[in-house]
Amino acid sequence: MRADKTLFTGLSKKDRRALVRELARLEREETARRRRRRRIAWRAGLGVVGVAVLSVGTVTIVSALQPAPVLGPQNMASDGVLLSGNGKSVTAATTVALEAGSTPETSTLDKTDGMLHLVVYADYGSADSATFDTTNGSTVLSWVTSGNATLELHPVALDDSVNQNYSKRAANAVACVADAAPDSVPAVNTALAAAQSTAGASGLTDDQLVALVQKAGENDKSVADCITSGTFNDWVTDATGRARASVPNSDVPALKTAPLVLVNGTAYTGALDDANAFESFVKSVYAPAADAPDPAPVE
């Protein structure tokens, strides 16, 4: 659900952000209530089935009480978490949850606003994804924190067949954090990248993922429950499939390997462990964007 644009008329940028966050908070609460009602309805349905197992109407009752399709995580309507900074800290954009079967919202890419717009598709079971983040992650976050860049992080699971679903389970962990505490995503992303080299062939267990998230600073019990129950596993599969089919705002047609790093829509193809090479690439992309004329005023 989108807010009526007239709500923002006359508000300052700060007040508009505050209003967007308040609307998103109300939507999160309503989503949580819907989920609770579905769980209660489902349990009640099971009780009815047990009593009326021989009834002709049983099938109809069970069908009517089936829970609705699982929602995606809140704050990931684009299949990614969009992060921006204010000079002191990094904040995640808040969005409503993506309904199962719905098309994600494509984030706007403005190459003339003088900012860097970075997009990273990361597979936490991939050594290459971990290498890029451990080499360049702190620099990228410093750009975002300063307010000179945005970062949209997409957790995907390309390597599930070789690591016993660790890529999916780790991506689900990020989705769980994004759903309940999106501002904690950068710290969890950094922790997952750092843990990849010692996680072993099967990756971290669910309990170890919970411990990693808690050590990164997120102790919400709902996040732990979400991780151990694999709440967003299906969403991870769907989001990865969508990225395999198409990558929006990009000069590459589809996601084939991870990481995929986009700078203002252009894919980085240099060495993942060379910080100087990455910074040189960023400057080469940013310079033309920074020199571009201001967009024409809206009449």
C-alpha angle with apex 91: 85 to 95, nearest 5 degrees?
A: 130
| For range 4-32, the mean pLDDT | 64
> What per-residue confidence (pLDDT) applies to 269?
97
Q: Is pLDDT above 70 for 144? A: yes
Q: Is pLDDT above 80 for 258? A: yes
Q: Is pLDDT above 70 for 231? A: yes
Q: Is the peptide bond before 288 cis (omega within 30 degrees of 0)?
A: no
Q: What is the pTM of this model?
A: 0.76
The alpha carbon of 84 is separated from its chain's Cα centroid by a whole number of angstroms, namely 14
Pinpoint the alpha helices (H) of 166-274: 166-180, 185-195, 206-215, 221-229, 233-245
Q: Is pLDDT above 70 for 65? A: no
| Cβ atoms of residues 94 and 21 within 8 Å | yes
> What per-residue confidence (pLDDT) applies to 287?
79
| For range 194-217, the mean pLDDT | 95
> What per-residue confidence (pLDDT) applies to 101?
81
> What per-residue confidence (pLDDT) applies to 2?
45
| Cβ atoms of residues 79 and 235 within 8 Å | no
Q: Is pLDDT above 50 for 274? A: yes
